[in-house]
């Protein structure tokens, strides 16, 4: 279970200093003050950079390869730019909304706006009493989560959404959707945290949030010209394959890094990220074969991501064989969501952000309640009850779906009012690379 990520900043350190001024209490105060662990700090800095690698170049290449050649640069530019925007907003007011001091069930307040009170000496407590990392490292680690989540949403709206609209949407969406959900799940005062919801690395915060928002945004934006009657296929599965590999490697920072320490919990998350993902990649291809298709490179890449998504909330909350089952089940269900559900309903989720991240995230979040059980190899206590935990997980999932839906409607229509939202038909046919950025990905 992800424990409190509430930090000890300047005020807490001053209080500890006052206690230490009394000789009789000096020893107790020293024991109570978390001490920065250099090994854990080094691991968390590494994990943070690994998550950044997931965005640029990982997600940029993964999504870019799936688009048509005329939209390659626009897709990569949108992902990079909205991630940069998220980073700046995070240090201005995102971090304090999600992990600042005080607040309520939904946000932490604005006491740490513009990182007020945070210094190189400020520390963030880990999950082991007396062990800490520098608060700046924690700020950076969580910053990369915000950046990749808003970038994931773009997978449903590429090839037709204005660059200006992406930026306006991103700023509003982060503020009213991502920051509150991150607080609710991971901060000690958050609604889901107090309920006891299990989300080790972001099944609700990242994947359900992004996937549901992607579906809603694509419905408001409308279908691409020619969809689904014209043949619209990825222009470079080679790039998508490279992006998939970068995503998988970076995901170890995402999952194992969420332990906040280099310890056994991180090791469990690490092995689960290996085996659930391996199962996901193979079972998607198996599903293709069982449905009369050849096992494809695109299917393999999609299965890899589905396995990664499903194991994210369960990374440190499952045994390895529970993770294998979770990755396999999620991959097969995501396959049907993409190949059967989407065509039947007719929505244009261009790169299947909802079909993989939304559906996979839901399966992972709910399934965590099962694989957490010690009888199934999970790390739960002997008295763990699947039924009650399953109820909690479902409540967290449904609440996230509703919150993300409402917030995305607001953010999308606000972007539409300010920018027009969608490029002209002429630009869409010509390609957003030239129409929005005046460049071509390929000049030959």
Closest by CA position to 359, among listed 337, 390, 327: 337
Average pLDDT over residues 298-304: 98
Say if CB 30 and CB 21 are below 8 A apart. no
pLDDT > 80? residue 13: no
Average pLDDT over residues 314-328: 98
pLDDT at 167: 98
Say if CB 95 and CB 75 are below 8 A apart. no
pLDDT > 50? residue 353: yes
The residues, any chain, with a CB within 8 Å of residue 259's CB and separated by 6 or more, are 127, 265, 266, 269, 316
pLDDT at 168: 98
Burial state string for 250-267 with b = 16 or more CB within 10 A and e = fewer than 16: bbbbbbbbbbbbbbebbe
Q: What is the pLDDT of residues 110-164, one digit of tens each?
A: 999 999 999 999 999 999 999 999 999 999 999 999 999 999 999 999 999 999 9
pLDDT at 271: 98
Q: Which helix (H) or strand (E) holds 7?
A: strand 7-8
Closest by CA position to 79, among listed 94, 64, 66: 64
Of 21 and 328, the structure prediction assigns the larger pLDDT to 328
Closest by CA position to 250, among listed 30, 59, 40, 91: 59
pLDDT > 90? residue 102: no
Say if CB 333 and CB 222 are below 8 A apart. no
Percent of the chain with pLDDT over 90: 91
Average pLDDT over residues 318-341: 98
Residues, the chain: 444
d(CA 186, CA 190): 7
Percent of the chain with pLDDT over 70: 93
Say if CB 371 and CB 384 are below 8 A apart. no
The mean pLDDT value of the chain amounts to: 93
Asked which of 4-13, 184-193, 321-330 is least confident by mean pLDDT, the reply is 4-13
pLDDT at 32: 60
Say if CB 330 and CB 313 are below 8 A apart. no
Q: What is the pLDDT of residues 395-410, one digit of tens each?
A: 999 999 999 999 999 9
Distance of CA 332 to the CA centre of its chain: 21
3-class secondary structure per residue, 190-223: CHHHHHCCCCCCCHHHHHHHHHHHHHHHHHHHCC
pTM: 0.92
Asked which of 25-29, 64-68, 158-162 is least confident by mean pLDDT, the reply is 25-29
Q: What is the pLDDT of residues 210-249, one digit of tens each?
A: 999 999 999 999 999 999 999 999 999 999 999 999 999 9
Residue that is written with structure tokens 């390609």 in the block: 431
């Amino acid at each position: 279970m992800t424990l409190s990520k509430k930090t000890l900043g300047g005020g807490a350190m001053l209080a500890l200093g006052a206690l230490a001024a009394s000789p009789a209490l000096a020893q107790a105060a020293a024991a109570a003050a978390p001490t920065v662990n250099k090994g854990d700090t080094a691991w968390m800095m590494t994990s943070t950079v690994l998550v950044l690698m997931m965005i640029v170049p990982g997600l940029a290449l993964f999504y870019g390869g799936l688009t048509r050649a005329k939209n390659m640069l626009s897709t990569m530019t949108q992902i990079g730019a909205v991630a940069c925007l998220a980073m700046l907003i995070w240090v201005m007011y995102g971090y304090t909304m999600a992990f600042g001091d005080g607040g309520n069930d939904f946000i932490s307040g604005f006491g740490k706006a513009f990182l007020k009170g945070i210094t190189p000496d400020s520390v963030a407590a880990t999950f082991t009493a007396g062990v800490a990392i520098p608060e700046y490292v924690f700020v950076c680690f969580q910053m990369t989560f915000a950046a990749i989540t808003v970038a994931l949403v773009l997978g449903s709206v590429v090839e037709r959404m204005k660059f200006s609209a992406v930026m306006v949407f991103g700023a509003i969406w982060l503020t009213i959707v991502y920051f509150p959900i991150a607080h609710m799940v991971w901060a000690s005062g958050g609604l889901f945290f107090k309920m006891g919801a299990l989300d080790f690395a972001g099944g609700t915060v990242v994947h359900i949030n992004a996937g549901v928002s992607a579906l809603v945004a694509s419905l408001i934006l409308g279908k691409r010209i020619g969809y689904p009657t014209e043949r619209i296929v990825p222009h470079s599965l080679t790039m998508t394959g490279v992006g998939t590999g970068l995503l998988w490697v970076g995901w170890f920072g995402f999952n194992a890094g969420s332990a906040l320490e280099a310890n056994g919990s991180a090791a469990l998350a690490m092995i689960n990220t290996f085996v659930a993902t391996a199962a996901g990649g193979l079972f998607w291809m198996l599903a293709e074969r069982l449905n009369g298709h050849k096992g494809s490179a695109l299917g393999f890449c999609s299965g890899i991501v589905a396995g990664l998504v499903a194991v994210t909330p369960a990374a440190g909350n499952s045994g390895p064989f529970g993770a294998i089952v979770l990755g396999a089940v999620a991959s097969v269900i995501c396959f049907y969501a993409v190949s059967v559900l989407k065509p039947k309903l007719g929505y244009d989720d261009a790169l299947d952000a909802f079909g993989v991240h939304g559906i996979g995230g839901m399966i992972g979040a709910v399934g965590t309640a099962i694989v957490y059980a010690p009888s199934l190899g999970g790390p739960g206590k002997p008295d763990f009850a699947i039924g009650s935990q399953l109820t909690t997980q479902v409540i967290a999932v449904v609440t996230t779906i509703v919150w993300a839906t409402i917030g995305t409607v607001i953010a999308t229509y606000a972007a539409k009012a300010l920018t027009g939202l969608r490029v002209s038909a002429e630009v869409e046919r010509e390609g957003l690379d030239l129409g929005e950025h005046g460049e071509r990905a390929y000049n030959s």
